[in-house]
Amino acid sequence: MIGTSAAEYYFIRLCIVGLHYLAPLALCYCALNILLHGLQVAIYRVPLVIECVAVAEALFFLCVYLPYKSYLQREAVHPTPPTREERQELFQLCNENIENPREYLQKWFLGADLKDIKRENVKEFFLWAFFNRGGPPGDDDEELEEYVSAMETLLGEPIEAGRGKAKCLRLTLDEVKMLHRSLIWYLCVGFVDFLAYIALLYHGFHFHRTSLSRFFTLFPFRWQSLFSTYRSPAKHTMYWHRPHTSPTKLPMLFIHGIGIGYYPYTNFLSELNSTAGIESSDPNDQVGIIAIEIMPVAFRITHHALGREELCAEIDQIIHEHFGPDQKFILASHSYGTVISTHLLKTPKIAKRIGPMVLVDPVSMLLHLPDVAYHFTRRQPKHANEHQLYYFASMDMGVSHTLSRHFFWNENVLWKKDLEGRKVTASLSGKDLIVDTLAVGRYLSDQPKSTTIPYRDNPEMASTQDADENSTVRLRTNENSTHVDTNDEEWQSRPWKGTGIEVLWFKDLDHAQVFDSKICRRRLIDVIRAYSESG
């Protein structure tokens, strides 16, 4: 993730304009060419390469993007809703972990004024959140009334009857929002993927492809897969594997986040078996690594995201292939990968083999809060890092479809109770532009709740003269007073001990930046190596 400087802002905006408007320019050029030259259109009047690019981009937009965009708008197939008892337990967990009820409700309603959020609006939101559906309340109205009454208690004020003009964020029911990607962009993705391929091969990893009959189901095409002699036991899931030779250490399963694939993680993965920057050649020191590839969120055009059970079954096949049926392993994941970690943790057959866990920028923690969904899918970008996230990630066809049609929050949320009895380290970044890391850090560290109001998301606070645009303050309120605390809290500087649930706090980093700095990567690697040695 890039920073927020003026130079980075202009750079990222220039990249977006160049990539996004290439297709409209190509369409205009081709249309004008046909209009002016008719049947002689095949006789090029500019360098041939320009004509080829223009025609290719125009055809790609008309014949691939537009039909595919329409195809991806199909309704989500929601999972079976929880039982009433499960819903009530889930609702209670949510209510117990809301720091600012007003902000919580307003953000789920896309910044609407509270007077525009009325009783029927809240029911509509709860119907999606806890019943996995839209439509009228029907027979569920009585239960919905209970939840609305509980929300009134949390707010400390009544919710007006009727329906207001506010619209809530219902990710799996709303339109799949996406923006066109040029062929040039996909060529860039393919090139970066090839660089990652070369780097991982160099560091002893083996690429395991799927069947060659699936070669054309992934674009940009992975030509390197034609030369790989290693075959994945799973139908859809490709991965990287480094053999485990240490008889005393635990191997590791790693799952990446939304992005361009494994290129941003190559240094991290290669350094896991190095000491003082020197890669160990001692077989007794070699920790095995399986790095799963999730192609629907890796900026590719490919099959839709697999369902929870299907993906877990495929990962189980891969684990069994390399680690055997009984070998415990470390489960490490980043961002969206923490959602898949949640699924693995809730799959008994796999959970019993999961040892210590490392969750980097975990989006699955406190997923009932609106921050992840709102910041990733609905926030209008202002800063350089927000533009990078919005255009290159949020509006990617595969990513958007995955989040809008295959991301069911009540399946993906990870609670502290799910981690009981385990060694878990969560790596959090103080300037994360997606996750409310202060809330997550306090939750994992058993800190009392307080109200979090980021300056950038609160107009009243934004007007404060001495407020840094990217800073965050915490407000503790009671009937008589309001005072401001800094965001330096005791849990952020606790020494890491390797027991229970712990937090690594990187105060000045943004989402995913922990992998960019060698010093920060080293902290993660030290944790993983300690877990590997202790079991």
pLDDT, position 476: 33
Decide: helix, strand or coil at residue 120.
helix
Q: Give domain limits for the chain.
A: 6-71, 84-155, 183-447+490-534, 449-488
CA-nearest of 212, 512, 181, 490 to 338 is 512
Q: What number is the average pLDDT over the span 281-310?
A: 91
Grade residue 458 by pLDDT with cuts at 50, 70 and 90.
very low
Question: Is pTM, for the whole model, over 0.85?
Answer: yes
Q: Which residues are registered as beta bridge partners of 208?
A: 230, 239
Reply yes or no on whether the pLDDT at 535 is more than 90.
Answer: no
Q: What number is the average pLDDT over the span 98-105?
A: 94
Please name the fold of domain 183-447+490-534.
Rossmann fold (3.40.50)
The predicted-structure confidence for 360-406, as pLDDT tens digits, reads as follows: 999 999 999 999 999 999 999 999 999 999 999 999 999 999 999 99
Reply yes or no on whether the pLDDT at 23 is more than 60.
Answer: yes
Grade residue 36 by pLDDT with cuts at 50, 70 and 90.
confident
CA-nearest of 458, 439, 451, 389 to 106 is 458
Helices (H), 413-486: 437-444, 459-462
Determine which of 193-202, 475-484, 504-513 has the lowest per-residue pLDDT on average. 475-484
pLDDT, position 38: 72
Question: pLDDT exceeding 90 applies to what percent of the chain?
Answer: 81
The predicted-structure confidence for 425-449, as pLDDT tens digits, reads as follows: 999 999 999 999 999 999 999 876 6
Q: What number is the average pLDDT over the span 265-281?
A: 77
Q: What number is the average pLDDT over the span 327-339?
A: 97
Q: What number is the average pLDDT over the span 110-132?
A: 96
Reply yes or no on whether the pLDDT at 463 is more than 50.
Answer: no
Reply yes or no on whether the pLDDT at 35 is more than 90.
Answer: no
CA-nearest of 298, 304, 303 to 216 is 303
pLDDT, position 471: 35
**For residue 365, how many C-alpha atoms fall within 13 Å in the half-sphere facing its CB?**
30
Residues 441 and 429: their CA atoms lie apart, in Å, by 10
pLDDT, position 333: 98
SS (H, E, C) 471-495: CEEEEEECCCCEEEECCCCHHHHCC
pLDDT, position 513: 96
Helices (H), 216-370: 266-271, 308-323, 337-345, 348-351
Cβ proximity of 337 and 405 under 8 Å: no
Reply yes or no on whether the pLDDT at 451 is more than 90.
Answer: no
pLDDT, position 385: 95
Grade residue 39 by pLDDT with cuts at 50, 70 and 90.
low
* Tokens 């790693």, residue located: 254
* Tokens 């160099």, residue located: 202
Q: What is the DSSP annotation of 286-303?
A: ---EEEE--GGGTT-B-S
Reply yes or no on whether the pLDDT at 279 is more than 90.
Answer: no
Task: Report in angstroms the alpha-carbon separations of 77 from 133, 217, 331, 408.
Answer: 10, 22, 29, 10
Reply yes or no on whether the pLDDT at 472 is more than 90.
Answer: no
439 Cβ contact partners less than 8 Å away, ≥ 6 residues apart: 97, 99, 366, 369, 371, 452
Q: What number is the average pLDDT over the span 82-100?
A: 95
Residues 359 and 504: their CA atoms lie apart, in Å, by 10
CA 217 to chain centre: 23
